[in-house]
């Protein structure tokens, strides 16, 4: 392999470039990024950058040592594949880029709402800087979506003295991520911060100066100086249409991040890998494909993808992990509870520090912690090892998670 192209200038793309070099790849290496900024971290955009505590989240990478050509401000527009294992060509605004190996790390794009009014999303550092300047005391800020991003933006806007309203289509915050039972436990946080939360409300359109709401009567409107939309993201796959790669909610890959051409036959492209927010990768741990749009996966999975691209044996099967800072709380989650049998409370959710554990039999599937970082650290180890736990002990907040492990 003599020429590798990395498409995507986010954390996953940078870490893939670093992993390739650390594993002995000596050929030409090019990173293509649609943004003109040097690659940067995204989690601080809704936290420190929006709050004004930081203005630079550039990823710490030694580009000279990496011997990596950077094509900043250039976008991939198409992919033409040669025969299996023989590479192909990335069509881009910088011209055609032939490759022997390809890393797809183009991430995801925010979902927006209909309407001709201005709507802010929070995906790039320019988005964050622009919105930051508009969060002034007394400004009427309406946020659509009470998910992770919506809660974090609401936290910062309220601290800056804005009049904040959060509109959520579901009956509780975080209904998709955690389920309504757990999402409901966060409702008091909004009132505590002086944020108006309106659930079960659907938006018809973003208009100039506010939102038009949908409903049986229609016509209701919420006035706003700024509208922020945080209703999710979709993998950036448009440039891959017609490439022959299997695209289903993401770039479909095996457990090594090698892209799949045909799901029925299991045909893969060993010379094309996908990683980060755009990759739908097979998890042996959970017996299905996962699309994990979180920093931890973007940080760690590229090592496996790079190894696979270089023909080395590697499988990624980590339990997902993410965190959120909202309303003065550190909220952390590890695992996957999609098929869990039951959940148990670990502490009183009306208090400041508590956790929720999801179990199947005596297996700990996932944990959500609120200001209980030690629980999170210990639970991640238990989940990774698959060690049985005592359900009664795991429900006792005075028992350390590691002490709830069955002998």
| Confidence at residue 264, expressed as pLDDT on a 0 to 100 scale | 77
Q: How confident is the model at residue 68 (pLDDT cuts 50, 70, 90)?
A: very high
β-strand pairing of 140-144 with 163-168 = parallel
Answer yes or no: are the C-beta atoms of 282 and 289 closer than 8 Å.
yes
| Confidence at residue 295, expressed as pLDDT on a 0 to 100 scale | 92
Residues 95 and 118 in one domain: no
| Confidence at residue 217, expressed as pLDDT on a 0 to 100 scale | 55
| Confidence at residue 83, expressed as pLDDT on a 0 to 100 scale | 86
C-alpha 8 chain-centroid distance: 15
Q: How confident is the model at residue 41 (pLDDT cuts 50, 70, 90)?
A: very high
| Confidence at residue 234, expressed as pLDDT on a 0 to 100 scale | 95
Answer yes or no: are the C-beta atoms of 151 and 327 closer than 8 Å.
yes
Q: How confident is the model at residue 16 (pLDDT cuts 50, 70, 90)?
A: very high
The number of beta carbons lying within 10 Å of the beta carbon of residue 222 is: 20
Among residues 187, 215, 231, which one ends one of the domains? 231
Average pLDDT over residues 387-391: 95
**How far is Cα 319 from Cα 303, in angstroms, rounded to an integer?**
16
The number of beta carbons lying within 10 Å of the beta carbon of residue 220 is: 12
| Confidence at residue 243, expressed as pLDDT on a 0 to 100 scale | 95
| Confidence at residue 216, expressed as pLDDT on a 0 to 100 scale | 67
Task: Supply angle C-alpha 88, 92, 96, rounded to 5.
Answer: 50
| Confidence at residue 407, expressed as pLDDT on a 0 to 100 scale | 72
The number of beta carbons lying within 10 Å of the beta carbon of residue 25 is: 18
Tell me the per-residue pLDDT of 193-236, one tens digit each, with 9 for 90 and over: 999 999 999 999 999 999 999 976 567 899 999 999 999 999 99
Tell me the per-residue pLDDT of 122-157, one tens digit each, with 9 for 90 and over: 999 999 999 999 999 999 999 999 999 999 999 999
Q: Give 324's strand partners.
A: 331
How far apart, in Å, are the Cα atoms of 277 and each of 196, 231, 233, 274, 310? Answer: 31, 16, 9, 9, 22
**How far is Cα 140 from Cα 87, in angstroms, rounded to an integer?**
52
Q: Looking at the domain assignment, is residue 321 inside a domain?
A: no
Average pLDDT over residues 34-42: 95
Sign of CA dihedral 127, 62, 269, 297: negative
HSE, side-chain direction, 13 A CA sphere, residue 231: 19
**How far is Cα 225 from Cα 25, in angstroms, rounded to an integer?**
52
Tell me the per-residue pLDDT of 154-194, one tens digit each, with 9 for 90 and over: 999 999 999 999 999 999 999 999 999 999 999 999 999 99
Q: Give all strands (DSSP E) within 277-353, no chain letters.
A: 279-283, 288-290, 321-326, 329-335, 342-346
Residues 241 and 130 in one domain: no
Among residues 204, 231, 258, which one ends one of the domains? 231
Residues 367 and 391 in one domain: yes
b/e burial code for range 274-295 (CB count within 10 A of at least 16 → b):
bbbbbbbbbbebbeebbbbbbb
What token pair was written down for 279?
């990759």
Q: Looking at the domain assignment, is residue 320 inside a domain?
A: no
Residues 73 and 209 in one domain: no
| Confidence at residue 219, expressed as pLDDT on a 0 to 100 scale | 74
Averaged pLDDT score across all residues of the chain? 95
Question: Which SS3 state, helix, strand or coil, does residue 288 take?
Answer: strand
Q: Looking at the domain assignment, is residue 314 inside a domain?
A: no
What token pair was written down for 249?
């909610």
CATH number of the CATH domain containing 280: 3.50.50.60
Pick the closest to residue 57 from 132, 124, 115 (CA basis): 124
| Confidence at residue 265, expressed as pLDDT on a 0 to 100 scale | 78
| Confidence at residue 126, expressed as pLDDT on a 0 to 100 scale | 96
Q: Looking at the domain assignment, is residue 319 inside a domain?
A: no
| Confidence at residue 129, expressed as pLDDT on a 0 to 100 scale | 96
β-strand pairing of 88-92 with 342-346 = unpaired
Tell me the per-residue pLDDT of 284-326, one tens digit each, with 9 for 90 and over: 998 889 999 999 999 999 999 999 999 999 999 999 999 999 9
| Confidence at residue 59, expressed as pLDDT on a 0 to 100 scale | 93
Question: Which SS3 state, helix, strand or coil, does residue 249 take?
Answer: coil
Residues 170 and 70 in one domain: no
Q: Looking at the domain assignment, is residue 39 inside a domain?
A: yes
What total number of domains does the chain contain? 3
Among residues 197, 214, 231, which one ends one of the domains? 231
Residues 203 and 150 in one domain: yes
Residues 352 and 298 in one domain: no
Q: Looking at the domain assignment, is residue 183 inside a domain?
A: yes
Tell me the per-residue pLDDT of 69-112, one tens digit each, with 9 for 90 and over: 999 999 999 999 998 889 999 999 999 999 999 999 999 999 99
**How far is Cα 60 from Cα 215, in angstroms, rounded to an integer?**
48
| 43 DSSP assignment | G
Residues 216 and 362 in one domain: no
Residues 240 and 105 in one domain: yes
Question: Which SS3 state, helix, strand or coil, does residue 116 take?
Answer: coil
Q: Give 342's strand partners.
A: 359
Residues 194 and 96 in one domain: no
Residues 203 and 257 in one domain: no
Q: Looking at the domain assignment, is residue 316 inside a domain?
A: no
| Confidence at residue 263, expressed as pLDDT on a 0 to 100 scale | 74
- The domain in which residue 348 lies consists of 328-404
Residues 105 and 242 in one domain: yes
Q: How big is the chain by its Cα radius of gyration, in Å?
A: 22
Q: Give 71's strand partners.
A: 32
CATH number of the CATH domain containing 364: 3.30.390.30
Q: Looking at the domain assignment, is residue 97 inside a domain?
A: yes
Full-model pTM: 0.94
**How far is Cα 214 from Cα 201, in angstroms, rounded to an integer?**
8
Task: Supply angle C-alpha 150, 151, 157, rounded to 5.
Answer: 90
């Amino acid at each position: 392999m003599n020429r590798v192209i990395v498409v995507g200038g986010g954390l996953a793309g940078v870490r893939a470039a670093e992993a390739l070099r650390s594993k002995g790849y000596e050929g030409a290496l090019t990173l293509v990024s649609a943004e003109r900024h040097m690659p940067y971290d995204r989690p601080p955009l809704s936290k420190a950058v929006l709050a004004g505590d930081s203005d630079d989240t550039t990823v710490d990478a030694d580009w000279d040592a990496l011997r990596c050509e950077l094509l900043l401000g250039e976008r991939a527009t198409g992919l033409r594949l040669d025969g299996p294992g023989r590479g192909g060509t990335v069509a881009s605004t910088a011209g055609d880029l032939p490759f022997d190996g390809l890393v797809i790390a183009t991430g995801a794009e925010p979902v927006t709402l209909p309407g001709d009014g201005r709507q802010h999303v929070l995906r790039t550092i320019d988005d964050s800087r622009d919105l930051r300047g508009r969060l002034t005391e007394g400004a009427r800020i309406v946020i659509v979506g009470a998910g992770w991003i919506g809660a974090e933006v609401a936290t910062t806007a309220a601290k800056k003295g804005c009049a904040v309203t959060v509109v959520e289509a579901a009956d509780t915050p975080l209904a998709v991520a955690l389920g309504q039972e757990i999402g409901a436990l966060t409702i008091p946080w909004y009132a505590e911060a002086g944020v108006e939360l309106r659930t079960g409300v659907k938006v018809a359109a973003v208009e100039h100066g506010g939102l038009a709401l949908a409903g049986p009567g229609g016509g209701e409107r919420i006035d706003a100086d700024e509208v922020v939309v945080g209703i999710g993201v979709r993998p950036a796959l448009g440039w891959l249409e017609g490439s022959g790669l299997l695209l289903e909610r993401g770039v479909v890959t095996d457990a090594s991040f090698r892209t799949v051409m045909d799901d029925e036959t299991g045909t893969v492209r060993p010379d094309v890998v996908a990683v980060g927010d755009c990759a739908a990768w097979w998890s042996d741990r959970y017996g299905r494909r996962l699309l994990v749009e979180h920093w931890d996966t973007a940080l760690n999975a590229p090592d496996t993808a790079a190894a696979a691209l270089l023909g080395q044996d590697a499988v990624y099967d980590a339990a997902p992990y993410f965190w959120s800072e909202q309303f003065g709380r550190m909220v952390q989650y590890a695992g996957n509870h999609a098929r869990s049998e039951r959940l148990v409370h670990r502490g009183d959710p009306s208090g400041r520090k508590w956790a929720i554990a999801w179990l199947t039999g005596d297996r700990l599937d996932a944990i959500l912690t609120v200001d209980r970082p030690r629980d999170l650290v210990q639970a991640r180890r238990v989940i990774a090892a698959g060690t049985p736990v005592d359900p009664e002990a795991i429900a006792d907040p005075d028992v350390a998670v590691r002490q709830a492990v069955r002998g």
